Amino acid sequence: MSDETPICSAKSCRTDAVWVLAWNNPKIHTPERRKTWLACEEHREHLSQFLGVRGFLKDVVLLREWQKSAS
């Protein structure tokens, strides 16, 4: 991970990310593959719903916990 502060993936949002939304598109990704979006508190629910309605959302984890598990 870089030294830059991770920011929210919502369009035009420049707020620091707090959450990691792990997802995959089962039509194009293997079941174990995880792509990620980052979310601030304000956009976590909206982004989760966007992915969830499509059946893509696999997990929502605090960024600090995601970073711990990656190291």
Residues 6+ positions from 69 with CB-CB distance below 8 Å: 61
Task: Output helix, strand, coil percentages for the chain, rounded to the nearest 5.
Answer: 30, 25, 45
Give the integer Cα–Cα distance in Å for 41 and 16: 9
Of 7, 21, 8, residue with least CA distance to 56: 21
Q: What is the pLDDT of residue 1?
A: 42
Of 42, 31, 46, 39, residue with least CA distance to 61: 39
Q: What is the pLDDT of residues 17-68, one digit of tens each?
A: 999 999 999 999 999 999 999 999 999 999 999 999 999 999 999 999 999 9
In this prediction, residue 3 has a pLDDT band, given cuts at 50, 70 and 90, of low
In this prediction, residue 70 has a pLDDT band, given cuts at 50, 70 and 90, of confident
Q: What is the pLDDT of residue 46?
A: 97
